[in-house]
Amino acid sequence: MKPNQNQRGASATALLAFVLFVALLYVLYNQSSIENLFTSRPENVTPRVVEARGDLAAGEKSVVELFEVSKASVAYIFTESVQGQLFFRRVAEGTGSGFIWDDAGHIVTNAHVVEGASRIRVQLDDSEPLPARLVGIAPSYDLAVIRLVNKPANLRPIPVGTSGDLLVGQSVFAIGNPFGLSKTLTAGIVSALGRTLPVSNGREIPDVIQTDAAINPGNSGGPLLDSAGRLIGVNTAILSQSGSSAGVGFAIPVDLVNEIVPQLIERGTLPRPGIGIAVADESLARRLGIRGIAVMGVEPGSPAAQAGLKPFDLQAGVVGDIIIAVDRKPVANVLQLSKALEAIGVGGTANLLVMRGDDTREVAVSIVDLEAR
């Protein structure tokens, strides 16, 4: 007689139970051997004796002290901005760095860190993130000032140094928030001075400090310090194909920062002296064999228009004006023209030496604040 399906199932269950029972006995029997496999240690083996280190070197001590003193003045900035339209909106998050400017709770950072942000939060040392609002911004110099909404007690403004007496080769230190990693210290030297740094609106920041101290995304707006712990620059950009530090970073010099920040706190914007023209790259004037700035556009009603300046029209073959000097000082590029107008200031008059074709003439042009137009 063949076993039915119930009998076969009962036999299989009994066999499985027997196998499990034997396996359990085997494990219990060998448990001590298995434990010994992981916990046993050869006889007479002990940890190595720890060598006494001794004091840190004098240079190490000074860097440790610099960081401990300076970290309370550094701000770690987190931003949110709404991007897109209607149903395709999303919130983009960003990080950056900054530093405490004064006891009123003003914090200096880069313009590109906070520009367009709908929400700004700041973390100071070990504090919780604190809300902040934008006070002033100067995209032409990539600088901005924000202010803590609820100012905590015992703020520690950063000590301010000078950048005019910096030397290539002297030690510098950057503290910031690279890749969102707060309280990061990097060290290096001043690797070059007098650089110019292009910014988004076609202007250039003059006398920029170049350093090999590692500066990465998130370091933007943080302080560059000298070996005395004084602010000498604001870290702002790197030169890299990969987007990470390649040993060439740039910082806005503190002498320039010290001029701009008080104006941003007081006015919210920075006066931009100008005469109402659009100019071409100096390469156009060079092709014409002239050192100067070719006028490519004149704003209607502007001081340039009132003074009769005429733009080039390359398609129609119209020859326009080339500015070759301001107050009898030669200008060969946009940066030199901007510096000359800034030196005269809003409300002043610039005497331009202008060439049109073979004719040269002097034109008096009033300087206005282009930001107020």
Task: Let me know if 163 is a catalytic residue.
Answer: no
Q: Point out the least confidently predicted range of 8-17, 41-50, 106-115.
A: 8-17
pLDDT of residue 245: 54
Catalytically annotated residue among 220, 245, 302, 338:
220
For residue 260, what are the CA distances in angstroms to 141, 143, 197, 252? 9, 8, 17, 11
* H helix intervals, 164-267: 254-267
- Mean pLDDT, rounded, of the chain: 84
pLDDT at residue 46 greater than cutoff 80: yes
* pTM of the predicted model as reported, rounded to 2 decimal places: 0.71
SS (H, E, C) 35-73: HHHHHCCCCCCCCCCCCCCCCCCHHHHHHHHHHHHHHHH
Which member of 73, 97, 142, 226 is catalytic?
142
Please indicate whether residue 220 is annotated as part of the active site: yes
Q: Residue range 221-231: average pLDDT? A: 94
Q: Which long-range contacts (CB under 8 A, 24 or more apart) does 99-102 make?
A: 99/73, 99/74, 99/75, 99/158, 99/222, 99/223, 99/231, 100/73, 100/74, 100/75, 100/124, 100/155, 100/156, 100/157, 100/158, 101/145, 101/157, 101/158, 101/261, 102/157
Residues 6 or more apart in contact with residue 202 via CB below 8 angstroms:
334
pLDDT at 72 over 50: yes
Q: Bigger pLDDT: 281 or 198?
A: 198
Q: Is 142 an active-site residue?
A: yes
Token output for 221:
């707006």
> Which 3 state secondary structure label does DSSP give 158?
coil
Residues in the chain: 373
Does pLDDT of 147 surpass 90? Answer: yes
What pLDDT score does 107 carry? 96
Confidence of residue 303 (pLDDT cuts 50, 70, 90): very high
pLDDT, average across residues 315-335:
89
The residue with greater pLDDT, 64 or 333, is 64
Annotated catalytic residue within 112, 212, 245, 338: 112
Non-local CB neighbours of 262 within 8 Å, separated by 6+ positions? none
Amino acid at residue number 220? S
pLDDT > 90: what percent of the chain? 47
What per-residue confidence (pLDDT) applies to 34?
54
pLDDT value for 244: 54
- pLDDT of amino acid 1: 45
Q: Which residue spans within the chain are E strands per DSSP?
A: 74-83, 90-100, 106-109, 119-124, 130-138, 143-148, 171-176, 184-198, 204-211, 223-226, 231-238, 249-253, 273-274, 277-279, 293-298, 322-326, 329-330, 349-356, 359-366, 368-369
More confident residue, 141 or 280: 141
